[in-house]
Amino acid sequence: MRLRAVAGILLRQFYLFRSSPVRLVPTFTWVAVDIIVWGFLTRYLNAVTSHSAGATTHVDFVPSLLGAVLFWDFFTRIMQGVTTAFFEDIWSRNFLNLFASPLSISEYVTGLVLTSIATSLIALSVMLILATLVFGLSFLSMGLMVIPFVLVLFLFGVALGIFASAMVLRLGPASEWLVWPMTAFLAPFAGVYYPLSTLPEWMRAIGAVLPPSYVFESMRALVNGQTLSATSLLISTTLAVLQLLLAGYFFARVFRYAVRTGLLARYSAEATS
């Protein structure tokens, strides 16, 4: 892998943002709205539970609900960071031009991932500032356990972004509308806002193969003062790494198919097969 080629992909995305700064707005606008809405909702729930008749203990919804929103938004930004960078090449009809140069699949995908890291860091900074300064959410209570949480969500977000990009490459640009709701579709199975035990058996079976489900179960355990399960962390990390490798393999297979069948040369906004 040539670092110069990877840097070229990253530099192209930088020029896009520099030429049109409005592209940066979606990277922090939606996460800011989510944090504000859920932040005030948790305040309301705290007030209701603390003043309810017969309440003997005070339940703080900020770390469990607002923390879950922050982690899930981070995962969503990672996934969409990869796909949006890929879509930029599709929308501008530039994808074929890139591979007219001696650019490998691994170099291109690595450039997309680095772009996703850069944009998601902007979103994460906004989320942390709002959650900490406005709503008093502190991750210091979790200590270093925040690091593996973020790592697992990052790996799975990249895997899902690569898979979604491959799907669009195979089915055509019109299929990008299948990409945007992907994270919303996975949220009920991942148990983002509630324990997996509340789900029916068939939904728990799906959640068992999603790395984020282990992350949010572990996070709730830490918030409730329980010890972290090393087994859950190992399973989630293994699943995330395995799914990342499978996504990369799938993208490479789809790309080779597109080249072999001439689909890549015919790629346009109306391509469907």
Least confident window among 155-159, 169-173, 227-231, 232-236: 227-231
Average pLDDT over residues 265-273: 51
Full DSSP string of 83-143? HHHHHHHHHTT-HHHHTTSS--HHHHHHHHHHHHHHHHHHHHHHHHHIIIIIT---STTTG
Task: Specify the pLDDT at position 163.
Answer: 94
Name which of 56-65, 107-116, 173-182, 259-268 the model is least confident about: 56-65
For the cut 80, the answer to whether the pLDDT of residue 232 exceeds it is yes
Is pLDDT at 271 greater than 60 in this prediction? no
Name residues whose C-beta falls within 8 Å of residue 248's C-beta, 6 or more positions apart in sequence: 106, 109, 162
208: confidence class by pLDDT, cuts 50, 70, 90: very high
| pLDDT the model gives residue 153 | 92
Contact criterion met (CB below 8 Å) for 80 and 113: no
What band does 270 get if pLDDT is binned at 50, 70 and 90? very low
The pLDDT assigned to 249 comes to 93
Place 57 in a pLDDT band, splitting at 50, 70 and 90: low
pLDDT band, very low/low/confident/very high, at 156 (cuts 50, 70, 90): very high
Average pLDDT over residues 54-72: 71
Task: Give the pLDDT confidence score for residue 160 in this predicted structure.
Answer: 95
Mean pLDDT estimate for the chain: 82
C-alpha 45/C-alpha 58 separation (Å) is 11
Label residue 269 by pLDDT band (50, 70, 90): very low
Q: For residue 135, what pLDDT band results from cuts at 50, 70 and 90?
A: confident
Q: Rounded to the nearest 10 degrees, what angle do helices 146-171 and 230-261 cross at? A: 20
* pLDDT per position as a tens digit, 3-37: 888 888 888 888 888 887 777 777 778 888 888 88
Sorting pLDDT into bands at 50, 70 and 90, what band is 209? Answer: very high
- 256 or 97, which is more confident: 256
What single letter denotes the amino acid at residue 228?
A: L
pLDDT tens-digit series, residues 175-194: 888 888 899 999 999 988 88
Assigned token pair, 25:
């707005």
What is the mean pLDDT of the segment spanning 246-266? Answer: 85
8 Cβ partners below 8 Å, 6+ apart? 103, 111
